[in-house]
Amino acid sequence: MKTVFFTWITDDFKNTIIDFDGFYKSFKYFHPDVDLVVFDDVDIKNLYAEKPWLYSDNCKGSFAKLLYNDYDLVVNIDSDFYFFDRLHEILAGDYDVAASANFNAICNAEMIPREVNGYNLPFVHQINYIQAGLVASTNKEFWDEYETASKDLARSLPLRDNDVLNMIWYSGKYKTKVLDGAVDFRKPEFKRYYNCASIGRERFAQLKDNKVYLDDKQMASYHVAFGNNGAGGVPKRRMNQIFNPEICQWFNDIIGTVHE
């Protein structure tokens, strides 16, 4: 299966607001064989000129459509991630749409059922809410729908692209896969942390046999989603503000071997 991951980031956020080196090098360490496309200022300007309705919280589907004719599996991932292992559950490609659990110890969201701009939004309890920081799909129709619904809805919804994803996810149209294994990190079916489910308990993470674990479940990746969003030019948290020194040293050692 021909696979591409993509992210987008403006020059003013790269290694200022966001630790892009940590994102890029940790991804490449574990996935040297996987294409990673980074859309930069020029790419963003060109796409926004073509589709003037785009802005930062509704553009994921539009970027994916630039790639989906050349790849079987297209994966969008926000540029404020750290990677701790190979992302096996994504690379399996055994789904139409895959994403991660959002439910965590301190920062959660839910969707209230209502009609907005002609779309019927379902009720989604905070335990079941899906996180849009990482979205994978083998289905072009999904990316088409995500683009259209994001255009119509994102500016009208409190959690923008996250709410749009949840509406589509629970529509029943697609074969979905929760990458973590379950939406509730307290359940035995939850196998590996992929996104936001570890937020609030990072201090309990431990390094074992060169892998990061939380509550005896491996952390595949971590999304620096909670906290400052870069407003006012304030940087998001860095690795050394999140994890213990042993994990930070291990992480710095592995990304130090990547020279791209």
Q: What is the mean pLDDT of residues 20-36?
A: 98
Phi-psi region of 161 (alpha: psi -120 to 50; beta: other; left: phi over 0): alpha
Element (H, E) at 100: strand 97-101
Looking at domain 3-255, its CATH architecture is Alpha-Beta Complex (3.90)
In the chain, where are the structural domains located? 3-255
What is the Cα 138 distance to its own chain's centre?
16
Residue whose token pair is 């870069």: 230
Give the integer Cα–Cα distance in Å for 43 and 240. 32
pLDDT tens for 55-82 read: 999 999 999 999 999 999 999 999 999 9
Backbone angles phi, psi at 199, to 5 degrees: -60, 135
pLDDT band at 157 (very low <50, low <70, confident <90, very high): very high
Structure token pair of residue 233: 């030019």
Q: In 3-state terms, what secondary structure has residue 40?
A: coil
pLDDT tens for 99-151 read: 999 999 998 999 999 999 999 999 999 999 999 999 999 999 999 999 999 99
Task: Tell me how crowded residue 145 is: count the other CB atoms within 10 A of its CB.
Answer: 19
Has residue 190 got a pLDDT over 70? Answer: yes
| 234 class by beta-carbon count within 10 Å (0-12 exposed, 13-18 middle, 19+ buried) | exposed
With beta carbons less than 8 A apart as the criterion, state whether 197 and 118 touch: no
Of 83, 184, 75, 84, the closest CA to residue 126 belongs to 184
